[in-house]
Each structure stands twice: as C-alpha cells, then as structure tokens.
Amino acid sequence: MPLKEKLPNQIFYLGLMAAEEILGLNGLNSILNYAKLQKFIGNYPPNNLELEQSSEDFTCLMSGFIEVLGERGSKAITFQLGKRSFELIVEQFPALLNIDGIKPDDRTPDRLFDEYVRLQDLMFVAAKGIFGDIYTCYENEDGYVIELSPCYWCTGLKTEAPICNAGNGFSHAVGRWVVGQDLRIEETLCIARGDDRCRHVVYRPGK
C-alpha cells in the first residue's frame, strides 16, 4: 500500500511547529528552501484536519532535514524532532492519535509496558487512517516491533546506516509518556539502507 495522497493540514502544522522550535526559524527556512517547499515559509497550513496537503511534500520535508544536515549531523536533530512532535500531540492535538483524555500515569506500574503496547496499537489505528495502511506492529519476546513500508521518514534517501531517527524519537516520547522512563529503541532495518522495510524494536525494560 502506498502512502495516502493527501494528508491533513494539522500534520504539517505540527511538523513545522516542532521543526521551528528545534532548528529556529532560519534553520527551518533553509530546509524549506532546499526541499523546494518555499510555499510554507512564513505560511504554515492551518491547524485543522482538512486533507489539503500532499504526502509527497511531507516526505520531501523529512528527507530535506537529512540531506541538509547530513547523515550523521541530522541524527540528534531528527530524533528531537520526532520526540517533540509526540509531546506536542499530547499537549495540543491528542485527538489526532486517539489519545484524547488518556492519562497513562494513572496505570499500575507492573502493567506499564503492556499499557504502552495497548496505547501504541490504538495510535497506529489513527495513524493508518492518516497515512494509509503502511504499518505492521506486533509484540514479540523482545518487546514491540513497528514496521513501516513505505516509510515517510526516509523516502528517496540512500544511507549507510538506518536513518529514521525521527521515528525513533517519536516512539521514545511515547515510551516516556506511558512508562515514565526511556525505553531502549533500535532501528534494525531501514529502506534507505537497502532493506525492504523500516523496523524499530522497542525493547521491554530489562531486555
């Protein structure tokens, strides 16, 4: 299944807000220039769910960060970008991922990773509605596995090592939100490196 052609305005609004916070306005504008997305300079899409943005622009924006900052140089920044995007969803747009009104710190501590799995599953239902049927998610003995094909973080890139640090940062923030600690997360497969899908493994604490 390909990515859905049109994405809601709010996805761009959110991504550009997070990027402006992390890179500063000038840093973000140079990425937008490079990615030929000048139409967004000083002109973010409105904060609503109308399907007015193209997924191609989204993948150009994501790969733009890595092309401008370099494979190594982009690592920490794209991680922060993913992490901050999820924090903004919790703070401002929880309905986007089905988590409106959910307060995971009310849960009992021994069930927290199971709760993490439950909430990730719930969010991927919403994410499939937004991006298309591109995710395969399942639990195994190590923890929780997230696979994407195609992957909007690395479309069109060719890299030496797995590059979807934004996805990793996003999952990190989800883990912190639910479990209250940093989970170990590893990207074990990546399309940009030549694999047939991107795969992130979120390890159960203690694994």
Binding region for Zn ion (CB under 5 A): 151, 153-154, 164, 190, 198
Q: Report the nearest approach of Zn ion to the CB of residue 99 (Å).
A: 24
Q: Between residues 96 and 198, which has the closer beta carbon with respect to Zn ion?
A: 198
Whichever of 84 and 200 has its CB closer to Zn ion, that residue is 200
The CA distances from residue 94 to 97, 126, 154, in Å, are 6, 11, 25
DSSP notation for 7-57: EEHHHHHHHHHHHHHHHHHHHHHHHHHHTT-GGGTT-PPPSS--EEEEHHH
Q: Cα–Cα distance between 125 and 30 in angstroms, integer?
A: 34
Write out the two tokens for 47: 């904060």
Each residue of 129-150: b (16+ CB within 10 Å) or e?
ebbbebbebeeeeebbebbbeb
Give the nearest distance from C-beta 194 to Zn ion in angstroms.
11
**In terms of CB distance, is 66 or 164 closer to Zn ion?**
164
Q: What kind and span of H or E run contains 203?
A: strand 198-203
What's the full length of the chain, in residues? 207
Question: Is the CB of 112 or the CB of 154 nearer to Zn ion?
Answer: 154
First to last CA, the chain: 33
**Tokens coding 114:** 């199971």
- Residue 108 CB, shortest distance to Zn ion, in Å, is 34
- Tell me the C-alpha distance between 48 and 68, whole Å: 29
CB of 75 to Zn ion, least distance (A): 13
Distance of closest approach, residue 127 Cβ to Zn ion, in angstroms: 15
Residue nearest to Zn ion (CB): 198
Quick one: 35 or 164, whose CB is closer to Zn ion? 164
Closest approach, Cβ 7 to Zn ion, in A, equals 17
Q: Which is nearer to Zn ion, 61 or 198 (CB)?
A: 198
